[in-house]
Homo-oligomer: A and B are copies of this chain.
Amino acid sequence: MTTMKVPGSGTRARNESVILEAAERIFARHGYRGASVQAIAEAAGLPKSNVLYYVGSKRELYVSLLERMMARWNAMLDDIDEDDDPGEVLESFIRSKMRLTRQHPQGSRLFAAEVLQGAPFLQSYLHGELREWVRSRARIFERWAEKGLMDPVDPVWLIFLIWSATQHYADFEAQILGITDQAQLDDGDYRAITDFLCQVILKGCGVRAPSAT
């Protein structure tokens, strides 16, 4: 019997990952206060005591989920400078954000629930890292507008527009499925929606279509 030593295949790693996934679902659905450790444990298929053995406390579990989501978000933020093509950059931003939403809908909803309750655990992140990121992109958008590469729209509101339009498909999934009468959105839907958003938003702020189709 050769015991595997593959990293991440230990009991701890396996259980922690099961717990994180279950907890993300429950917290996303019911928010921090509305989620019970008992419910998370049941979703993970473990006794409550075992869940607390691994994660310490409800609070720690919640914070580590938020941190994981922020890490995913940070990993997505590619560097740009003012010599890049506005169309390419904007399109890649929309597509990246949409991919994040699609690949981590529960994480997106968790983030939404946290912000809905006033972002008590994310104040420093919003006022720090994220604010700086937005400011730096905004400066570049303004430079582009000065050069006549796009309309002189407020760059911060442009970022919020992209953020909201993409985020929406995770947070309001229930509404979208209800209205479109579908069981779920498939790859084709997501591709079409992404194309739609790229087309409308780029045209809307006067960016010429990227050179390469």
Contacts and interface: CB of A to CB of B under 8 A. Distances in A.
Interface of A: 28-35, 109, 112-113, 115-119, 122-123, 126-127, 130-131, 134, 151, 153-154, 156-158, 160-161, 163-165, 167-169, 171-172, 174-176, 178-181, 192-193, 196-197, 199-206
A156 B168 CA distance: 13
A38 to B, nearest CB: 12
Which of A118, A164, A202, A203 has the most chain B CB within a 10 Å cutoff? A164
Contacts of A193: 157
B117 A30 contact: yes
Contact of A117 (B29, B131, B160, B206): B29
24 contacts: A29-B118, A30-B31, A30-B32, A31-B113, A34-B117, A112-B112, A112-B116, A112-B172, A115-B175, A116-B116, A116-B174, A126-B174, A126-B175, A126-B179, A130-B179, A131-B179, A156-B179, A160-B168, A160-B169, A163-B168, A163-B172, A168-B168, A200-B201, A204-B204
* Copies of this chain, count: 2
A174 B114 CA distance: 9
By Cβ-Cβ distance, the 5 closest A-B pairs, closest first, are: A204-B204, A126-B178, A33-B34, A34-B34, A164-B168
A30 B165 CA distance: 24
Contacts of A151: 199
Given A126-B179, A174-B126, A178-B130, A200 B158 contact: yes
Nearest to A174: B119
B196 A157 contact: yes
A181 B33 contact: no
Given A200-B201, A203-B204, 18 more contacts: A31-B34, A31-B116, A109-B116, A112-B171, A115-B175, A119-B174, A126-B178, A127-B179, A131-B179, A131-B181, A153-B199, A156-B179, A157-B196, A160-B176, A163-B172, A164-B164, A200-B204, A203-B206
A169 to B, nearest CB: 8
A34 B34 CA distance: 4
